[in-house]
Amino acid sequence: MGSFKGQVFLVLLVAVAVLVMAFSAVPASAKTYHKVHEPKEIHKKRCYEAVKNNFNGWVKRVGDYVEKSSKSGPHTKRNLGVVAPRTIVVDQLGRGNFLTVQDAVNSVPTGNTKRVIIQINAGTYRQKIIVPSTKPFITFQGAGIKKTVLVWHDTAGEAGGTGLSASTFVKSAHFIAQDLTFANSAPAPVGGAVGKQAVAFRITGDMAAFYRVAFLGAQDTLYDQTGRHLFAHCFIQGSIDFIFGDGRSLYLDCHLNSIAVPYEGSLTAQNRGSNTDIGGYSFVGCVVTGTGPIYLGRAWGPYSRTVFIRTFFENIIIPAGWYNWGITSRQKTVFYGQYECSGPGANLSGRVPWGRELTSAEASPFSDTRFIDGALWL
């Protein structure tokens, strides 16, 4: 499946990711910083702790609830009871219900209201996957980010657009993914190449969460397009604008790894379009490593909004930090900032004047799950 060149790139892509993770690329100083300097109250607020300690319980909470009736005299009393989620097994060797992930998704009823766990056994699954908006409450459960890989190799030029290049596209609400990798194996392009964007994962569904998930690609790896999302303990690798879109998303303790050519890359390209748009990206307690120098973000939208809070940066950040997309008027409308970040790449002395050093009050709304209305759905 796919070209030999694409297969070779996927092998290299996964190898880089495995090396980075396996040999603990997180600098010791970053680990020490969080242990010593992070206030206890902030630490306690971190949503990923609840997810980590009781992920199965969380699945049940955001899963299906059905009404059970019992009569008391002339009146009817209705109670809510939790239904155990249905599990579908995908296995390439025929030891499950389906051989492909898409077939498993297709088997979920339209208008689904029950949590369905699609257990994807170890293997590399080479196909495009779409989860339609009519099928909410689906969980992709892998066998580990080095064991379960969902990959395809489209580019914007081949597929007819950047969004259409996505290897996996989730349109539905209440999607959950854990312990797997989403990848696009198209070769990394040089800066300025036309039609070479290659999305590994795209999401427009609301109220989605990802735990211990890897996203591997180069230009435009993760299309965090719209909706409220939580990414906890994820590994995201790319080169140019490798997290982009207009989602309202919280990235907790994630590892961002750049494979960019010097001065040709950027971590983010947030696309907030107006001052009433709720979109924005918040990175809390993250680590940024890899090649550079690169930008923290580029102003894809005129009101682009991205903040980094208590994040450790290796020495790979262009001193200016932020780029206005070549449109000077955006310098007056974007919201870009850092708060209590560390590492050699966090130095604020060379930052553009329209990039902010946030105060505690300014950083607070972005620091925990309040930013994504987590109390309503997590």
pLDDT of res. 81:
42
CA distance 264 to 244: 16
pLDDT of res. 359:
98
More confident residue, 275 or 29: 275
Inside any domain, residue 139: yes
Inside any domain, residue 37: yes
Whether 228 has a pLDDT exceeding 70, the answer reads yes
Q: What is the mean pLDDT of the chain?
A: 86
In terms of Cα–Cα distance, which of 67, 80, 68, 64 is closest to 112?
64
**pLDDT single digits (tens) 266-302:** 999 999 999 999 999 999 999 999 999 999 999 999 9
Return the CATH number at 130. 2.160.20.10
Contact 143, 104 (CB under 8 A): no
Inside any domain, residue 16: yes
SS (H, E, C) the chain: CCCHHHHHHHHHHHHHHHHHHHCCCCCHHHHHHHHHHCCHHHHHHCHHHHHHHCHHHHHHHCCCEEEEEEEECCEEEEEEEECCCEEEEECCCCCCCECCHHHHHHCCCCCCCCCEEEEECCEEEECCEEECCCCCCEEEECCCCCCEEEEECCCHHHHCCCHHHCCEEECCCCCEEEEEEEEECCCCCCCCCCCCCCCCEEECCCCEEEEEEEEECCCCCEEECCCEEEEECCEEEECCCCEEECCEEEEECCEEEECCCCCCEEEEEECCCCCCCCCEEEEECCEEEECCCEEEEEECCCCCEEEEECCEECCCECCCCEECCCCHHHHHCCEEEEECCECHHHCCCCCCCCEEECCHHHHHHHCCHHHHCHHHHC
pLDDT band at residue 10, thresholds of 50, 70 and 90?
A: low
Question: Which one is catalytic: 64, 241, 253, 368?
Answer: 241
Whether 79 has a pLDDT exceeding 70, the answer reads no
CA distance 172 to 160: 22
pLDDT of res. 88:
98
**pLDDT single digits (tens) 310-363:** 999 999 999 999 999 999 999 999 999 999 999 999 999 999 999 999 999 999
**Locus of tokens 């230009």:** 219
Inside any domain, residue 340: yes
pLDDT of res. 270:
98
**Number of domain units in the chain:** 1
Regarding beta strands 335-339 and 305-309, do their DSSP bridges make them parallel or antiparallel, or are they unpaired?
A: parallel
154 assigned to active site:
no
Inside any domain, residue 31: yes
The residue range of the domain holding 138 is: 4-52+84-377
Inside any domain, residue 162: yes
pLDDT of res. 190:
82
Inside any domain, residue 156: yes
**Poorest-confidence range of 189-198, 199-208, 290-299?**
189-198
Taking residues 30-54, what's their average pLDDT?
Answer: 45
Taking residues 105-109, what's their average pLDDT?
Answer: 98
Sign of the CA dihedral running 160, 291, 346, 329? negative
pLDDT of res. 238:
98
Question: Could you tell me the end-to-end alpha-carbon distance of the chain, in angstroms, rounded to an integer?
Answer: 38
Inside any domain, residue 74: no
pLDDT of res. 193:
85
